[in-house]
Amino acid sequence: MTTTQLNQSTLANLPNHVDIPKYDRSQLKAGIVHIGVGGFHRAHQAMYVNELLKTLGSEQWAICGIGLLENNRGLRDILQKQDYLYSLVVRHPNGKIDNKVIGSMIDFIFAPDNKQTVIDKLAHTDTKIVSLTITEGGYNLHPITGELDLDNSDIIHDIANPNDPITAYGYIAAALKVRKEQSLAAFTVQSCDNIQHNGAVTRKMLLTFTQQQDPELSKWIAEHVQFPNAMVDRITPVTTKADIEYVTENYGVSDEWPITCESFAQWVIEDNFSQGRPNWDAVGAQFVTDVTPFEKMKIRLLNAGHSVLGILGSIHGYSTIDETVTDKDFAEYLRAFMDDEVTPVLDTLDGIDLDQYKDTLIERFSNPNIKDGLARICSETSAKLPKFLLATINENLATGNDCSLATLVVATWCLYSDKQVNQNQQALDIQDAMQHELAEYAQKTATDKFAFIQLKSLFGDLSEQPAFNQLYEKSIDALYTPTRHIKSIMKSTLA
Ligand code: CS2
């Protein structure tokens, strides 16, 4: 028997245990245009909007998704067939499951085939907010200089071709140009990525981009566009076949791309919008005047904690975060990293108990119902580590504080990039835009222990710091001793 598909007409047939959108979706307007409709957006911002749409008077805040990447073509086809509805399966640590269907997305445009449609949509007066989850790498932020990478081929293309954009900056600039020329109000640009000061960074990048492309536009953007900073949080693993089967069995309809996520969600946003904003605080988000300490805490503890477990756990031969952190040796290492190397660089935050925050993180990572793959965590490490971990190392070096635990992670990343197998000689699933360059530098380690950290575009002058080199050398010596196992090296680094 074939199962009917999830869409607007089958929605009413779903069993009572599924929380479906009961609001009138035909009355919604897309006040938000979102670039980068990955799993995280669908579990986070789109979920908050879905909750809000249950309240009257929020109809103007639905979402139109935009896919910039070629591999978003399939997503567009699926969403179109499903009337932009999708299932969200929320898995609590105790096994409880919230089954939901999210209805806040009402359109999706696949940009490569519809460039003008995307520019028109962004420029449309209904669009009040353009939000982004384009991943850390999508910002083309140079890890050392903190400037826009003007050597990137897509950026070069977009600066020279304002009417034929590829990047988020290209599209946003094209639409803001229309608004400027037609004397329309500017939209807010809201980053939802894991970058400290994500709004300020987006502003700086877009201003640099437009200075090259159209200096008058750049001036107008600087004056009219707001870029609120925000801390975003919800662990959202990659959708598996088992997730798809779960929905077929439990919702009684088929969904080709459901999303599964943890029960925890957090969104702390600076209240700084060009043309109004949804009352997200009515559905659990928090508006603050300065998000800096929240962002730093989350990126340096949660995201870096993920990388610590991801890189060390991969070498050990584990494949998921929960499996890694329920091994007490890894939990102990992670906790020591958080207490001894991250906590000293964090600001104290009124109303936040850091110890409790760290306990909660370990509990969230241990959720046995969230099989978050280490391959996802380690994907694009070259874009993540500078912000998640290297910043902590540099801050500790500056104050003379120890950073051996973080340094072992950098050295293990060298081994990971060099050998590309775990300690049981099984191949690692590596996905990184810099994979070849990383391998090239790492593979010189046998003859030059410090070769990997000579990759200046990532590590800056780290290799010129004797205090770091000493720790790094010790880690490399241990890791490149054939009989040593990662756990014994972790233990001796802890001692
Ligand atoms: C993860 C994040 O990509 C990563 O390495 O740390 O995707 C993490 O799961 C989210 O930021 C949680 O909010």
CA distance 227 to 399: 32
Of the candidates 163, 180, 56, 37, the one whose C-alpha atom is nearest the C-alpha of residue 106 is 37
Query: What pLDDT does residue 56 have?
Result: 78
What pLDDT digit, counting tens, does each position of 79-125 carry? Answer: 999 999 999 999 999 999 999 999 999 999 999 999 999 999 999 99
Distance of CA 209 to the CA centre of its chain: 22
CA distance 141 to 134: 12
DSSP string, 347-414: PP-TT--HHHHHHHHHHHHH-TT---BHHHHHTTHHHHHIIIIIHHHHHHHHHT---HHHHHHHHHHH
Task: Supply the residue whose CA is at minimum distance from atom 2 of ligand 1.
Answer: 303
Of the candidates 176, 172, 174, 170, the one whose C-alpha atom is nearest the C-alpha of residue 152 is 170
Cα dihedral 273/128/72/193 (nearest 10): 0
Does 349 score more than 90 pLDDT? no
Q: Is the CB of 384 under 6 A from ligand 1?
A: yes
Residues whose CB is less than 8 angstroms from the CB of residue 341 and which lie 6 or more positions away in sequence, other chains included: 392, 396, 401, 402, 403, 405, 406
- Letter for the amino acid at 407? T
In the DSSP assignment, the letter for residue 99 is E
Task: Supply the residue whose CA is at minimum distance from atom 9 of ligand 1.
Answer: 235
Confidence of residue 347 (pLDDT cuts 50, 70, 90): confident
Does 1 score more than 60 pLDDT? no
For the chain, what percentages of helix, strand and coil (3-state, to nearest 5) are there? 50, 15, 35
Does 350 score more than 80 pLDDT? no
Query: What pLDDT does residue 427 have?
Result: 98
Distance of CA 129 to the CA centre of its chain: 19
Residues whose CB is less than 8 angstroms from the CB of residue 51 and which lie 6 or more positions away in sequence, other chains included: 283, 284
Residues whose CB is less than 8 angstroms from the CB of residue 151 and which lie 6 or more positions away in sequence, other chains included: none
Query: What pLDDT does residue 399 have?
Result: 97
Query: What pLDDT does residue 291 have?
Result: 94
Q: Is the CB of 298 under 6 A from ligand 1?
A: no
ipTM of the complex model: 0.99
Determine the atom of ligand 1 nearest the C-alpha atom of 135.
3
What pLDDT digit, counting tens, does each position of 436-477 carry? Answer: 999 999 999 999 999 999 999 999 999 999 999 999 999 999
- H or E element that contains 156: helix 153-160
What pLDDT digit, counting tens, does each position of 280-320 carry? Answer: 999 999 999 999 999 999 999 999 999 999 999 999 999 99
Query: What pLDDT does residue 61 have?
Result: 97
Average pLDDT for the chain: 96
Indicate the pairing of strand 266-270 with strand 230-233: antiparallel
* Token pair belonging to 87: 């299932």
Tokens 């269907």: give the residue: 101
Task: Supply the residue whose CA is at minimum distance from atom 6 of ligand 1.
Answer: 303
CA distance 139 to 120: 23
Out of 59-73, 159-173, 184-198, 341-355, least confident range: 341-355
Instruction: Report, as an integer, the average pLDDT of 121-146.
Output: 94
Q: How far is the CA of 235 from the centre of ligand 1 (A)?
A: 6
Percent of the chain topping pLDDT 70: 100
- Please provide the distance, in angstroms rounded to a whole number, between the alpha carbons at the two ends of the chain: 60
Across-strand partners of 33? 64, 130
Q: How far is the CA of 377 from the centre of ligand 1 (A)?
A: 7
pLDDT: which is higher, 32 or 495: 32
Instruction: Report, as an integer, the average pLDDT of 388-413.
Output: 97
* Token pair belonging to 438: 């990383």
Assess contact for 105 and 66: CB atoms under 8 A: no
Instruction: Report, as an integer, the average pLDDT of 24-33.
Output: 97
Q: Is the CB of 44 under 6 A from ligand 1?
A: no
Across-strand partners of 410? none
Q: How far is the CA of 47 from the centre of ligand 1 (A)?
A: 17
For a mutational test of ligand 1's pocket, the pick from 194, 233, 379, i.e. the residue with the most ligand atoms closer than 8 A to its C-beta, is 194
Query: What pLDDT does residue 57 have?
Result: 83
Q: Is the CB of 234 under 6 A from ligand 1?
A: yes
CA distance 358 to 305: 10
Q: How many CB atoms lie within 10 A of CB 107?
A: 16
CA distance 243 to 361: 24
Q: Is the CB of 300 under 6 A from ligand 1?
A: no
Q: Is the CB of 296 under 6 A from ligand 1?
A: no
Of the candidates 55, 205, 48, 51, the one whose C-alpha atom is nearest the C-alpha of residue 129 is 48
Confidence of residue 25 (pLDDT cuts 50, 70, 90): very high
Determine the atom of ligand 1 nearest the C-alpha atom of 233.
13
Q: Is the CB of 387 under 6 A from ligand 1?
A: no
Q: How far is the CA of 234 from the centre of ligand 1 (A)?
A: 8
CA distance 103 to 26: 11
Helices (H), 230-327: 241-251, 292-297, 304-316, 321-325
Q: Is the CB of 303 under 6 A from ligand 1?
A: yes
Percent of the chain topping pLDDT 90: 95
Q: How many CB atoms lie within 10 A of CB 464?
A: 11
* Token pair belonging to 385: 């580590």
Confidence of residue 260 (pLDDT cuts 50, 70, 90): very high
Q: Is the CB of 41 under 6 A from ligand 1?
A: no
CA distance 88 to 5: 15
Across-strand partners of 105? 63
Of the candidates 275, 271, 105, the one whose C-alpha atom is nearest the C-alpha of residue 179 is 275
Instruction: Report, as an integer, the average pLDDT of 226-237.
Output: 98
DSSP string, 220-266: HHHHH-----EEEE---PPP-HHHHHHHHHHHSSB-SS-EEEES--E
